[in-house]
Amino acid sequence: MIIGVPKEIYPGERRVALVPMVVPILTKAGCEVVIEAGAGEEAGYPDSHYVQKGAKIIPERAAVFESADIIVQVLCYGSNDITGKADLPLLRRDQVLIGFLRPLGSMEVIQKIANTGITSFAVELVPRTTRAQSMDALSSMGTICGYKAVLIAADTLPRIFPMLTTAAGTITPARVLIIGAGVAGLQAIATARRLGAVASAYDLRPAAKEQVQSLGGRFIELPIEAKDAQDARGYGTAQDESFYARQRELLGRVVAESDVVITAAVVPGKQSPVLVTAEMVKGMAPGSVIFDLASERGGN
């Protein structure tokens, strides 16, 4: 059984699907691991690290696909809608593909992948259960997104996050609003609080209130109730346009009072709802920052 790791080709992508420390586990199980030259360099893993752990380096990308029974990628075609199509001719029948595939995205793209005859596993569909926790790549990446969004926002905002008392007076803390208290949103709340900001959050799911408050955030409650706010997996569900219109109307004042707004409201398989309008942005103070973590599916 040969496991192949090609270099990521999405513009700016630095991750790698397999790190050197995993190679001995796979070789001990009887597998052979082949790595495209330079696949791990951007992630901090030069080819020599893979060779030391027992992997084989292959210079040509096509040769990796040709030799491997299992291909592992971070962004497969499906989640890579810019350059991923180039890998389609390299896939062959009965090969296994594992990675982020965005299976609830474009039916046309998924059909093209199916037409190659491969068996594909989308890591974002691994259930968020205790047994599968070690394979929950979606939550892991969501956590990093929420953390990084706050750091970038703090660096971009022309004022500091924490309250400071100086000889010249007191500087009030920055106000951060997070819309969508999923994995990314909750990490954004925690990070904003650690940096000293006042963090508030809104989510249409009533169950999110306790989670927000447990992190020291203020939960924004609007006089509007969502119908079937979450599905069996705990994800927020899509609402009708009248709900979103009323939601935008009520959120306008909260957005205007915020220095940073981080939006992370996504509905699996559907376009992200528009929650912050151009009119709401006009009401924000000059220099305010908006970070849209839902942009991949159209944006909030």
Q: How far is CA 29 from the centre of its chain?
A: 31
136: annotated active-site residue: yes
Burial of 176 (0-12, 13-18, 19+ CB in 10 A): buried
79: annotated active-site residue: no
Q: Secondary structure of 17-36 in the HEC alphabet? A: CCCHHHHHHHHHCCCEEEEE
139: annotated active-site residue: yes
Annotated active-site residue in 14, 48, 67, 128: 128
**Phi-psi region for residue 217, left (φ > 0), alpha (ψ -120 to 50) or beta?**
beta
Give which of 228, 199, 223 is closest to 211, Cα–Cα: 199
Dig out the tokens for 247 from the structure: 């939601």
With b for 16 or more beta-carbon neighbours within 10 A and e for fewer, the 156-167 pattern comes to: ebeeebeeeeee
Annotated active-site residue in 81, 92, 139, 194: 139
CB atoms within 10 A of CB 183: 20
Annotated active-site residue in 10, 147, 235, 244: 235
- The SS3 assignment for 59 reads coil
Annotated active-site residue in 136, 203, 259, 292: 136
Give which of 230, 203, 235 is closest to 219, Cα–Cα: 203
Annotated active-site residue in 48, 52, 106, 133: 133
What are the residue numbers of the active site? 128, 133, 136, 139, 235
